[in-house]
Amino acid sequence: MCTQASKTKIRLNPTEQPDLTLVYNVLQTEFTRALMACVMEKMLTDIPDLLYDDHLLSHFVDETLAFDRELREVYGWPGGQAGCTHILTQDEPFNKWLSIEKKCTYKDIKVYIFIT
């Protein structure tokens, strides 16, 4: 492949300039896609251990949601592309997340009722 690439010569008219913005956007998207694959693989390996600690899982969920939001809003990750949040919506992590949310909500309601 390298031999073929060295034999191939791209000739540009000196007055023509390639659209570097398009090239940059494609490279950024591909780089982000490669990083996302690594991040999601790491998440998949860590989630089974996090399911045993409510505090760690809650923090993990918060950080994952913030990361996904920043990735989409700041770096323009397309909405149609899978992000980190779809890993949280698998059966076991999602059910554990819901149970943590229910516990926290119940505690908040109990405190509110006690105060009033």
Please determine, for residue 17, whether its predicted confidence score (pLDDT) is greater than 80: no
- Is residue 10 assigned to a domain? no
- Is residue 79 assigned to a domain? yes
- Is residue 65 assigned to a domain? yes
Q: What is the pLDDT of residue 1?
A: 34
> What is the C-alpha separation between 107 and 104, in angstroms, rounded?
5
* DSSP H or E segment with residue 16: none
* DSSP H or E segment with residue 91: helix 91-115
Lowest mean pLDDT among 23-37, 47-61, 85-99: 23-37
Q: How many Cα neighbours within 13 Å face the side chain of 70?
A: 7
- Is residue 37 assigned to a domain? yes
In which domain, by residue range, is 84 found?
Answer: 19-115
Please determine, for residue 27, whether its predicted confidence score (pLDDT) is greater than 50: yes
Number of H helices, E strands in the chain: 5, 0
Number of domains in the chain: 1
Q: What would the two tokens of residue 108 be?
A: 């908040």
Q: What is the reported pTM?
A: 0.69
Kindly report, residue by residue over 62-112, the tens digit of the pLDDT: 999 999 998 888 877 777 887 888 888 888 999 998 998 898 888 777 777
Please determine, for residue 16, whether its predicted confidence score (pLDDT) is greater than 90: no
> What is the C-alpha separation between 26 and 28, in angstroms, rounded?
5
CB atoms within 10 A of CB 100: 15
